[in-house]
Amino acid sequence: MERRGSEVDPQSGLPSPSPRDPLLSPESHMDVQGYKWVRWRIWLCRLAALLSLGLLLIIFHWRPRLAVLARCCSCPLALADVLLLKDSFGQQHVVEVLTEEMEEGSLDLLGELEDTEWKDTVQLYKEEKTLLRYYQFEGLRYIWMDRKGAFCRVSVLNEDWTHKDLYDFQKGLSPLEQGFRRRIYGPNLIDVPVKPFMRLLIEEVLNPFYVFQLFSITLWLIDNYLIYSFCIFFISGLSIGISLYEIRKQSVTLHKMARMITNVTVRRKSGSEECVSSVELVPGDCLIIPQEGLILPCDAALLAGECLVNESMLTGESVPVLKSPLPTGDRKYSSEAERRHTLFCGTHLIQAKGGGQDGRGAVAVVTNTGFFTAKGDLISSILYPQPTNFRFYQDAVKFLFILCIVAFFGTIYSFVVLFKACETWLELVIRSLDIVTIAVPPALPAAITTGTIYAQHRLKRQGVFCISPPRINICGKVSLFCFDKTGTLTEEGLDVWGVIEARPAGFSELVPDPSLLPPGHMLSGLACCHTVTLHKDQLLGDPLELKMIESTGWTLEEPEGNGGVLDAEFGDHKVLAVMRPPAAMPISEPVAIVQRFPFSSALQRMSTVTVAPGGRSPLAFMKGSPEMVASLCRAETVPAKFSSKLRNFSSEGLRVLALAFKPVEESTDLRTIERGEVEKDMQFLGFLILKNLVKPESPTAINILRLANIRSIMVTGDNILTAVNVAKCCGMVGSDEKVIFVNVIPHTNQSMPVLRFNLENGGSTVTQNSVEVITRGLYQGGYGYHLAINGKSFAALCEYFPEYLPKVLLRATVFARMTPDQKTQLVKELQKLNYRVGMCGDGANDCGALRAADVGVSLSEAEASVASPFTSKTKNISCVPLLIREGRCSLVTSFSLFRYMALYSFIQFTSVLILYTVKTSMADLQFLFCDIFVVTLLALVMGKGGPSKELSPRRPPATLLGLSVLGSLLIHSSMAVLGQLAALFITISQDWYVPLNSTVFGTENLPNMEGTSVFTMSGFQYIIMAVVVTKGYPHKRPLYHNVLFLCLLFVLFGVMTWLVIYPGAVVSKSLDLYNFPDMDFRLLLVALAALNFLICFVAEVLIDLGLLDCLRLLRGKRQSKKHYKQLNALLANSPSWPPLNQALSPANSTVIFLS
């Protein structure tokens, strides 16, 4: 009996707006089936492979699932030798179950190490010996857990660790514990395999494309097409060689980037410190980080000291981040929730301090190793990218099946013709199979990628790097682009615009220069509430905080050595940094920072604890989003005009931060004080106002996208009013368009959740009459409008009003106060509406969204950031229209090449069948001339034309099975058949025509009149079709810009004309051409080719103008399959959307359903 199981993913317990998803996290669900080897089946398969001359093994290589079903029988997972995995994308994989012998007593040791919940759950399968059963999939290790009855990720053993558990590991592991863990977790390596050339060669040759090539070459050799066979063999060999070189080069590059082995210092349980290889690290190891830092070989939670970290390898963000020790407590640890306390694998630790006994270095505990680390996750996303769900690639496979059907009928026809000609059975089989190699062009898959390769090189020249070339074509279908605000739409740097203090009577006047503030808590808060650090006498940190410190005039000093001097100066507190006021200040008392709680996007705030000299006057300062800071302050300290002041500043596009403080009891242990204790009951201090200018390129790029009918959306962590102002400055929101705020009040014990749509500057400031006028204008289409929503309302909307979510997404332009997880969820929700979503950001806190989007663009100085498929060195969004233009150009080129290769195969298919009918065939060199010197050269240079300089409002089609494409192919194929038949019948009708020798067949009849006329006509048709299917306007530059292609067209047309009119004796003999005696007849063949070109060209122009669209009228107008278009049509006809100033609840809200 078959037993099914699944990969177990214990919930991490993290608050998240959406469930885990395969796009965002490796914890994707997998269906697992167990199989056991059956000896007699194995031997039977070996015999079948021998009898089939290895064909069965090739089929097993292409379809591993068939190999498992043929050799194994299903069994419970606990007994399985082989597993059949089905991932969340529906793809199937085969993995072998591995075993490793464990020492006696390992199970008891595990029980001591882990929580009692996990005791005896790691399967140590007993068959005389204690065995660990596991398998490796995409670099990750899955171990058998008997109690769960399933294979679980080995990381499940440390997913339930709390902060307290991690601090307990600070003592270190004993060698016995460490060795046991190493057996369970495996080596700490992100090992990207670099396959030997021979293995790569075998795998490449077994590709269906090359197997078909090998089959074709074998057939041609048997048929004595020697020269042609050797040329194709040489070209295929060259193609394989280049492919192997590129694959090997990429593997070596990725191997060097991923693999890192270094020596690290770990603490043992005995208290001693030991230098070990990073390969031996396991979760739970206590890591001693030296002062000079290192490149971290694992993920680790920082327990003591502070670390300055460059995370650009993971995020593309070059600004160093200061990491602080993990808070104590029983809360469950999560690397995502505790990013500011987690050191990630692959990041560069520039400096570590305050963690050792001498004040140098830091202490951390390893939390993840190998592919379970953040770096391992990113390497996995490169090695095992998610399948590209793009219609063009799906239709290409379907079209190949159509060509196979055409080949099947052609084979039957040729078999009948050859049978009637009394050919031998060998000749019958060879000639019939030869039709298959002609009708299904083996070079088709390679040809359609040339446009993408050209686009990739053009992008690289303009500073845009791509690590996923298939996504270039997807860029051509993008219908919506999301933009981060700070550093993307606006300048990275901020200028301090001023400070206003909160006073009992209200707010003070604006102070433009913070250094002019009187000494007090506001000035101290501006100087001390930051995570800026010193490195080689240079200030490093967030640009905003650097500007803030600079504006105060205070200077930063950090402890030297063990910090004893500064500690003594400030009452023996452990000093992290000292802020000293300028000497000219009336009260020149320095302040020491003794505790830091770094900024968190999810919490929207940061805080510090300071003391005065002698340890006097301990104070806590907090800085963050005004709404968040005010919510954590005592209500009486927040001025009554808080909201109106914030609204005024934000609506002018200014960046507003709020500050607060509170005294701390002197008896409090400031080193162990918890964040929750610090950040409550604060006293509101006032606003820090900064000017964040819009980049000059942003409005231009947004306007280009708007004219191209591509929606632009802003997704930011900033205030909603600031975001709306920036959206207006960028042109996302027009000057004549209204903004409607979506507010969702979540469920409470006293009230039901409520959804409201409020006009900007609405409420009491707008009269009822004006609201009615605007509402009537909205409903009647008189006003354009945009929705704006913040992160809290977005989360509540998803939870309580899911039926309204698609409608809000359809009209929303501004998403403010969004956490990184919410940005990712937004991208996914937009994709559910069938948008092709692009995302552009700096990679700092939007990595998930960049990777989840169909097209992710990271603005980074790195040449290729693993945070997204595309990386732009240009630090503005001008790269986005460029990328879309290149994507459209590449997609149109791929269409042109696909159609050209299909027409080329059909033209040659027609030529061969016509000549078979009259008992002759094409010569070996005729095939060679057409395939290599005409078709291959044209296909190679056809894609060199660059993109149009402007984005068209109409996106290129993505389906090969559309009416225009199929209609075009049918018309041109018909013209090709008629053209060749016309050439044949005109030849036969001439007075000087001499019939073929009917007693012989094939090449023995060469040269002849029929073969020569059909060959020359088909040669012209290859050139004609190259011109006809090469599209220019509106997505590519006109044909004359592709100079190389144009020159080649003229040269080939001249060569074909020369071959018809006066080929010469040598060339005629080499190509087996018949020397026609009549010059008028030769000119007639050229004129016939010109007529063929004229008809095809006019037909293509008419198809482009919509000639075939009249056929759609016969079936009637169909509704679009895209959900957002369906919903847009429904909302356009809705007389009351959006319902302004109405309180909607889940129970009584009206829902518009999609059909």
**DSSP track, 609-629:** EEE-GGG-S-EEEEEE-HHHH
Question: What are the structure tokens assigned to 120, written together?
Answer: 């005896």
**Cβ pair 85, 381 in contact under 8 A:** no
Q: Is the peptide bond before 1034 cis (omega within 30 degrees of 0)?
A: yes
DSSP class of residue 484 equals -
Q: Could you give the CA distance from residue 308 to residue 306 in angstroms, rounded to a whole number?
A: 7
Question: Under DSSP, is residue 136 helix (H, G, I), strand (E, B) or coil?
Answer: strand
Question: What are the structure tokens assigned to 947, written together?
Answer: 């993109």
Give the closest residue to 734 by CA, choosing from 756, 707, 753, 755.
Answer: 707
Q: Could you give the CA distance from residue 279 to residue 264 in angstroms, rounded to a whole number?
A: 10
DSSP class of residue 718 equals S
Q: Could you give the CA distance from residue 20 to residue 169 in angstroms, rounded to a whole number?
A: 29
Q: Is 484 a catalytic residue?
A: yes
In terms of C-beta density within 10 A (0-12 exposed, 13-18 middle, 19 or more buried), how is residue 263 classed? Answer: exposed
Question: What are the structure tokens assigned to 405, written together?
Answer: 């059907």
Name the amino acid, one letter, at 28. S
Give alpha helix (H) positions in 72-207.
106-113, 163-168, 175-185, 197-205
Counting DSSP H helices and E strands in the chain, the numbers are: 39, 40
**DSSP track, 243-259:** HHHHHHHHHHHHHHHH-
Question: What are the structure tokens assigned to 280, written together?
Answer: 């031996």
Q: Could you give the CA distance from residue 14 to residue 1010 in angstroms, rounded to a whole number?
A: 77
Q: Could you give the CA distance from residue 15 to residue 23 in angstroms, rounded to a whole number?
A: 18
Task: Please work out, in degrees rounded to the nearest 5, the angle formed at the alpha carbon of residue 206 by the alpha carbons of 959 and 202.
Answer: 135
Question: What are the structure tokens assigned to 431, written together?
Answer: 């000639």
Compute φ and ψ for 713, nearest 5 degrees.
Answer: -130, 140
Task: Please work out, in degrees rounded to the nearest 5, the angle formed at the alpha carbon of residue 276 by the alpha carbons of 274 and 278.
Answer: 140
Per-residue H/E/C for 980-1025: HHHHHHHHHCCCCCCCCCCCCCHHHHCCCHHHHHHHHHHHHHHHHH
Q: Could you give the CA distance from residue 95 to residue 86 in angstroms, rounded to a whole number?
A: 11
Q: List, in sequence order, every beta strand (DSSP E) within 146-240.
A: 150-153
**Cβ pair 569, 613 in contact under 8 A:** yes
The string over 693-726, giving b where at least 16 C-beta atoms fall within 10 Å of a residue's C-beta and e elsewhere, is ebbebbebbbebbbebebbbbbbbbbbbbbbbbb
Q: What share of the chain is helix, strand, coil (3-state, %, to 5)?
A: 45, 20, 35
**Cβ pair 404, 316 in contact under 8 A:** no
Question: What are the structure tokens assigned to 941, written together?
Answer: 């240079």
Q: Could you give the CA distance from residue 572 to residue 549 in angstroms, rounded to a whole number?
A: 26
**Which residue in the list 223, 299, 484, 924 is annotated as catalytic?**
484
What are the angstrom distances between the C-alpha of 406 and each of 3, 400, 402, 682, 902? Answer: 44, 10, 6, 78, 11
Compute φ and ψ for 1141, nearest 5 degrees.
Answer: 50, 35
Q: Find the Cα–Cα–Cα–Cα dihedral 334, 14, 319, 468, rounded to 10°.
A: 100
Where residue 329 falls (left for φ over 0; alpha for ψ -120 to 50; beta otherwise) is: left
**Cβ pair 72, 114 in contact under 8 A:** no
Give alpha helix (H) positions in 918-962.
924-928, 937-942
Active-site positions? Answer: 484
